[in-house]
Amino acid sequence: MGMRNRTVSSDSSDSTSTSSGGMDGGGMGGMGHACYIYTAINNPPALDPNPDVEYYRSIDMGIPLTMDDGKTINMWGFADSAGGGMGGMGGGSATFPSAPMRVRQGQVVQTHFSVSMMMAHTIHHHGIEPEYRSDGVGHISWDVSGQQYTYQWRPAHAGTYFYHCHTNTVLHAEMGMYGALIVDPPDGPGRVFEDGPSYDLEAIWAVDEIDSSWHDLDWAAGTCGGDVGLNELNPDYFVITGVDGAQSALTAPGIAVTMNRNDRLLVRYICAGYMPQTINFGGLTAEVVSSDGRPLPESYTTGSIDAVSAERYDCIIQPSSRGVYTVEIDIRDWITGDVLGTARTRITVN
Amino acid sequence: MKRRDFLKASTAGLAGSLVGGVGLLSWTPRAHASTIEKTFYITDGMVTQGDGKDIYFRGYSSNSSGLNVPGEHLIVQQGDQVEITIHNTLGSSHSFVIDGISDETVNSGRISGGSSTTVSFTADNVGTYVYYDNRNAPYNRIAGLHGGIAVMPVNSDDELYPGSPTFVQQQFWIFNQTDPDWNDAVRNGDTPDSNFTPRYFTLNGLSGRPPGAPGSGDPAIDSMHDPRSALHGHVGDRTLVRMINVGLAQHAVHTHGNHMEWLTSDGDIRPVWEKDIVPLNGNNGIADIIFPFDTPPDSWPPADVGTYPMHLHDEMTQTAGGGLYMFGSLTDIFFE
Ligand SMILES: [Cu+2]
Ligand SMILES: [Cu+2]
């Protein structure tokens, strides 16, 4: 666990920033600063006593990610703490990205989220549109610190989503605090959405850029002011679903795809970074059938897709000829459009 | 300036300070075209950012002693004759340009320091446009000389274009990014010689102030409570938002609570997709969306009252001066 010795108090009113008082800040070398963090939970919603699905998530601030050049970067994430044993607070061991959530349209879902009092985080189920107190946005409802909080939602639309932290989001999501969230239609995996296209196999490609210079920052970095550089993202690594896109993702199990000719592959493409991306399917043709958890009024076929931060595109690929196809995702500078880096994986068609 | 019923926009005033805007756009359809007149004053001044720094801006202001960044949003009707008079109160040369709104070219040409001109054109084409200064591009525009103008279809108060999905209210979201070095160069009459490194990110000229921050809740300071920016509605109050990005960075516009209906991109009518992220290009990129104010579909039990954010998902934009998360380009959406 990469916990640091900064704290946030969880006393106080809605509008509290715990910038100085009430904690050990003075004794911690001037640290102990977190501002505009809202830890008071007032009037939480009643929970359904009979949820269909329950997830348990806690925090892991020390996830080593080894890159192809041998360097190790520290990531943050949500540990799957089902099975308990955490005392509800601390941690568990997470991966990058965090463990997926997969539910069925119409199920009542509860996400139980535990955070130690040493820090604050939330879970925002991106693209899911729940009651506001289950939306995980600190300044509107609250950040979670020093307790367990339960988000409740009932997905109405099948499709590809993701969940991520919404506290000091600019930093926490970049640090890797996200995981895939898949909503299946009533007839389950194998169909993208109700009455929608079928598929035989699927891949989840969450493509992200990493600026390793951000990865020594404290969870509350910048929240009280001061220039910690969060306006400038200068990525030096590019990953597909947590695997270095320089080399490893070309062959990584679960990312690189091996399939039979004429089988239908569903690619769930998530633009998980902040910079715009272009995914090129390496000569294969993709039928884009839905985006952001909604069917397109008409699907279309393409060899590449431009995407911006947090967009999702669901693509059916049904290759008719054998071959090895290299899929390339260019991550482009948000101002100049220059390609900052490229992540690659492969579709091998037998 | 002559104010017409059909040309209402945010109230100017508050001499010497940025006007956060208190008026609401209103629109009365007419069977016949009219002549619309509007006067702008090119002025300058300092605007205090979320980290307390004062940054230099120029704007198309509604009076000679104020500073409006962006300029007031304007709404006219297709076929209207529009006459915009610009008084340049500064010493530098500027211009007033609108691309695509008319079959004629809408370009004032050079407006020298201290001089005035009137730009006249027919609003031939329905849709959303940006008026801006194309001199010293893109520096003058980014330093504040920009605003939004809409052309409504004839005799319609609920369509973006004839036959479009309908709405019951409309507003503009104008996004910008600010690199203080660039604005300083504009102030000094220089051409910026550094890469664009934005440190401030705004929506209709303002940025967020989270609860507890100085200025939080003040509609002249806090973009979460600026009535030009925040969405307010009951279920069914479908809201057209005309989004313009006068800066250089490409944005990912994200709403919580509802997906958006994505109607146009850079002037092109699109098949309507429901999206929780809509891309918005830089350099005067434009996208029109309708926020439907439907009951949030995944609420359980179903709930149609509550507050949600709109923020950019290129999260660097959520900061000010390199930190201060939530002091960037965002607003709130109120289901009432
Ligand atoms: Cu977090
Ligand atoms: Cu998100």
State the ipTM, two decimals: 0.92
Q: What is the pLDDT of residue A7?
A: 34
Confidence of residue B85 (pLDDT cuts 50, 70, 90): very high
Using DSSP's 3-state secondary structure scheme, residue B175 falls into strand
Q: Which residues of A touch B303 (CB under 8 A)?
A: 131-132
Residue A46: partners with Cβ closer than 8 Å, 6 or more residues away: none
Query: For chain B, which domains are there?
Result: 3-159 (2.60.40.420), 171-335 (2.60.40.420)
Report chain A residues whose CB lies below 8 A from the CB of B334. Answer: none
Average pLDDT over residues A136-156: 97
Q: pLDDT digits over A248-299, tens only?
A: 999 999 999 999 999 999 999 999 999 999 999 999 999 999 999 999 999 9
Ligand number nearest CA of A221 is 1
Question: Are A53 and A173 within one domain?
Answer: yes
CB-CB: which of A130, A225, A275 is closest to B323? A225
Instruction: List the single residue in A48, A131, A152 with the smallest CB-CB distance to B296.
Output: A131
Please give the pLDDT value at position B139. Answer: 98
Of A3 and B335, the structure prediction assigns the larger pLDDT to: B335
Is there a single domain that holds both residue A35 and residue A64?
A: yes
**Residue A12 neighbours by CB under 8 Å, 6+ apart:** A18, A22, A39, A40
Quick check: is A161 in a domain? yes
Closest by CA to B143, choosing from B101, B97, B94, B109, is B94
* A334 vs B contacts (CB less than 8 Å): 249-250, 314, 316
Residue A74's CB: how many other CB atoms inside 10 A?
16
CB A138 within 8 A of CB A119: no
Nearest to A135 among B248, B259, B308 (CB): B308
Look at residue A2 and tell me if it is in a domain: no
Give the per-residue pLDDT at A23: 30
- Residue B124 — left, alpha, or beta (φ > 0 → left; ψ -120 to 50 → alpha)? alpha
Distance A168 CA to ligand 2 centre (A): 12
CB of A225 less than 8 A from some CB of B: yes
A168 touches chain B (CB under 8 A): yes
Q: Note whether A270 and A187 are same-domain residues.
A: no
Given its phi and psi angles, is residue B272 left (phi above 0), alpha (psi -120 to 50 degrees) or beta? beta
Alpha-carbon distance values, A12 to A17, A24, A146, B90 (Å): 9, 16, 13, 50
CA atoms within 13 A on the CB side of B33: 12
**Ligand nearest to the Cα of B313, by number:** 2
Nearest CB among A129, A223, A274 relative to B296 is that of: A129
- Partner residue facing B274 (CB), from A130, A135, A294: A294
Last residue of a domain, one of A176, A197, A218: A197
H helix and E strand count, chain B: 2, 20
Q: Decide if pLDDT at A308 tops 70.
A: yes
Which of A:103-142 have CB within 8 Å of B? 108, 124-135, 137, 139-140
- Residue B236 or residue A18, greater confidence: B236
Q: What pLDDT was estimated at residue A24?
A: 29
pLDDT at A332 over 70: yes
Q: Looking at beta carbons, which residues of chain A come within 8 Å of B212?
A: 15-17, 36
Please check the confidence at residue B7 and state whether its pLDDT lies above 50. Answer: no
Question: Is there a contact between A280 and A183 (Cβ–Cβ < 8 Å)?
Answer: no
| Final residue of a structural domain among A197, A225, A250 | A197
Set of chain B residues whose Cβ sits within 8 Å of the Cβ of A310: 252, 254, 276-277, 313
pLDDT at A84: 60
Contact B307 A140 (CB under 8 A): yes
| The pair of three-digit structure tokens given for residue B168, joined into one six-digit string | 């019951």
**Residues of chain B above pLDDT 90, percent:** 90
Chain B residues with CB inside 8 Å of A134's CB? Answer: 299
Q: Which of A153, A171, A197 is the last residue of a domain?
A: A197
pLDDT given for residue A29 in this prediction:
29
Query: Is the per-residue pLDDT at A13 higher than 50?
Result: no
- For residues A170 and A274, membership in a common domain is answered with no
Domain harbouring A323, CATH code: 2.60.40.420
Phi and psi of B139, rounded to 5°?
Answer: -65, -45
B318 to A169: CB separation less than 8 angstroms, yes or no: yes
A vs B, Cβ pairs < 8 A, gives 189
Instruction: Give the pLDDT of residue B32.
Output: 82
Residues of A in contact with B332 (CB under 8 A): 140
pLDDT, averaged across chain A: 90
Residue B260 has pLDDT above 90, yes or no: yes
Same domain for A167 and A101: yes
Q: Which residue of B has its CA nearest to A154?
A: B298
How many domains does chain A contain in total?
A: 2
- Would the CB atoms of B321 and A227 count as touching at under 8 Å? yes
Q: Are residues A22 and A142 in the same domain?
A: yes
CB contact under 8 Å between B309 and A140, yes or no, is yes
Token representation of residue B162: 């004839």
Question: Which ligand places an atom closest to the C-alpha of A164?
Answer: 2
- The closest alpha carbon to A89, from A59, A54, A48, A122, belongs to A59
- pLDDT digit string (tens) for A105-125? 999 999 999 999 999 999 999
Do residues A26 and A103 share a domain? yes
pTM comes to 0.92
Closest CB to B256 among A15, A135, A229: A135
Q: Average pLDDT, whole number, for chain B?
A: 92
Q: What is the mean pLDDT of residues A330-339?
A: 98
- pLDDT for the residue B28: 72
Angle at CA of residue A62, ends A58 and A65, nearest 5°: 115
CA of A310 to the centre of ligand 2 (A): 6
Clarify whether residues A168 and A308 are in a common domain: no
Query: Domain for residue A154, yes or no?
Result: yes
pLDDT for res B18 = 34
| Predicted local distance difference test score (pLDDT) of residue A289 | 98
For residues A228 and A184, membership in a common domain is answered with no
Question: Is residue A78 situated within a structural domain?
Answer: yes
The whole-angstrom distance between B161's CA and the closest CA on chain A is: 19
Q: Check whether B12 has a pLDDT greater than 50.
A: no
Smallest-distance ligand from the CA of A176? 1
Are A338 and A284 part of one and the same domain?
A: yes
Domain hosting residue A18, numbered range: 7-197
Q: What DSSP line would sit under B184-196, residue for residue? A: HHHHTTPPP-S--
Ligand nearest B256 Cα, by number?
A: 2
When pLDDT is cut at 50, 70 and 90, the band that residue B263 belongs to is very high
Residues 6+ apart with CB under 8 A from A134: A45, A151, A152, A153, B299
- Chain B residues in contact with A292 (beta carbon < 8 A): 259, 273-277
**Mean pLDDT across B115-138:** 98
Tell me: do A300 and A332 sit in the same domain: yes
Give the H or E element holding residue A170. Answer: helix A169-172
**A102 domain residue, yes or no:** yes
Whether residue A228 lies within 8 A of chain B, CB to CB, comes out as yes
Of B198, B212, B324, the CB nearest to A222: B324
Contact A222 B325 (CB under 8 A): yes
Look at residue A90 in the predicted model and tell me its pLDDT. Answer: 55
Q: Is the residue at A1 inside a domain?
A: no
Q: How confident is the model at residue A169 (pLDDT cuts 50, 70, 90)?
A: very high
Partner-chain residue, chosen from A130, A294, A337, that has the shortest CB–CB distance to B259? A294
- Asked if A292 lies within 8 A of B307 by C-beta distance, the reply is no
Binary contact (A292, B277; C-beta < 8 A): yes
| Cα A144 from Cα A128, distance rounded (Å) | 19
Residue A16: inside a domain, yes or no? yes
A140 and A247 part of one domain: no
In this prediction, residue B30 carries a pLDDT of 80
Residue spans of beta strands (DSSP E) within A194-338: 201-210, 237-240, 243-244, 257-259, 265-271, 277-280, 286-291, 294-302, 304-307, 312-317, 323-332
Check if A335 contacts B (Cβ < 8 Å). Answer: yes
pLDDT band at A27 (very low <50, low <70, confident <90, very high): very low
Q: How far is A96 from chain B (nearest CA, A)?
A: 20
pLDDT digits (tens, 9 = 90+) for A217-247: 999 999 999 999 999 999 999 999 999 999 9
